[in-house]
């Protein structure tokens, strides 16, 4: 089972608009100067554990990193009503987290998959809070050019069958590939995540907002990072999106939707280079 690594990582509690947000904070070890603060935001059915392999690598490079469970995910508080899971509420939580960890200094922001959607909304709303934006396996649209069931259908599945129905769909493809202990963690996380969170995210994705123009207008450095094989969005979609945003790209050959878990060292190397150039 995934758990907080002992390497310079602490379990911390932050505050969001719906209550406590569970988080991990990883700080540079003794003898390594802190360069900047980084916030990492997980996606649909995800959590802070999605960045477990990255945190010690980034800390060793001098970056203070915070990863948190979004409202209603895994170990974070969240309402039981779907109306409590709007893009505005997710983005407001993110801004609140920034206020708690930044000490008034702009930070680097990374969002994975749906976490990238939330990151875009937060940057578009409050660009002065951020030093850069990284979208990791987070394409431009939830409804076109994506290898994923229509959000409306996924929402209906969860509404009718709850976490069990979603887990049955997910576990079929993972059972032969994921070690038993990891599979147990993923199952526990799905069942601990509020049903309203998952339905709410699908509704947000169904009515996604195009922030391309707003993000370009911020002038912030942007990195589009993605796997070349098996991501939810084809490489051509990520490439086109990067061009529209004027963003840098990082591509991971033979990797699907989880570069953060499949190639953490390579992802971190690219992030460190990007953040260093963003000064």
* Complete domains list, the chain, with CATH: 9-148+209-277 (3.40.50.1820)
pLDDT at res. 36: 97
CA distances from 192 to 131, 163, 167, 189 (A): 33, 9, 12, 5
Angle between helix 114-125 and 87-101 (nearest 10)? 70
pLDDT at res. 176: 65
pLDDT at res. 7: 54
Q: pLDDT grade, residue 180 (50/70/90)?
A: confident
Q: pLDDT grade, residue 2 (50/70/90)?
A: very low
CA distances from 177 to 49, 113, 125, 263 (A): 18, 21, 40, 16
Query: What's the pLDDT tens digit per position in 80-125?
Result: 999 999 999 999 999 999 999 999 999 999 999 999 999 999 999 9
Token duo for residue 206: 């169904």
pLDDT at res. 6: 44
Query: 161 near 66, Cβ under 8 Å?
Result: no
Cα angle 271-116-261, degrees, rounded to a multiple of 5: 55
Query: What's the pLDDT tens digit per position in 48-74?
Result: 999 999 999 999 999 999 999 999 999
Mean pLDDT (the chain) is: 93
Q: pLDDT grade, residue 8 (50/70/90)?
A: low
């Amino acid at each position: 089972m995934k758990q907080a690594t002992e390497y310079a990582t602490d379990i911390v509690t932050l505050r969001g608009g719906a209550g406590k947000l569970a988080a991990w904070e990883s700080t540079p070890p003794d003898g390594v100067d802190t360069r900047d603060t980084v916030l990492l935001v997980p996606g649909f059915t995800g959590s802070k554990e999605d960045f477990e392999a990255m945190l010690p690598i980034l800390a060793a490079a001098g970056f203070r990193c915070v990863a948190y469970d979004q409202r209603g995910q895994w170990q974070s508080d969240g309402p039981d009503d779907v109306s409590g899971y709007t893009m505005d509420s997710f983005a407001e939580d993110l801004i609140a987290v920034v206020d708690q960890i930044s000490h008034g200094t702009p930070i680097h922001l990374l969002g994975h998959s749906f976490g990238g959607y939330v990151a875009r909304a937060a940057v578009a709303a409050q660009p002065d809070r951020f030093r850069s934006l990284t979208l990791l396996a987070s394409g431009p649209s939830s409804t076109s050019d994506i290898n994923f069931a229509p959000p409306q259908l996924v929402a209906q599945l969860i509404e009718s069958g709850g976490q069990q129905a979603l887990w049955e769909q997910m576990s079929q493809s993972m059972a032969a590939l994921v070690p038993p202990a990891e599979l147990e963690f993923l199952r526990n996380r799905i069942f601990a995540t509020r049903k309203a969170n998952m339905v709410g995210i699908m509704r947000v994705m169904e009515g996604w907002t195009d922030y391309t123009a707003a993000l370009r207008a911020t002038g912030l450095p942007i990195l589009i990072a993605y796997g070349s094989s098996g991501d939810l969005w084809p490489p051509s979609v990520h490439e086109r999106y990067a061009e529209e945003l004027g963003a840098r790209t990082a591509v991971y050959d033979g990797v699907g939707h989880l570069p953060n878990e499949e190639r953490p060292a390579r992802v971190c190397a690219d992030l460190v280079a990007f953040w260093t150039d963003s000064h």
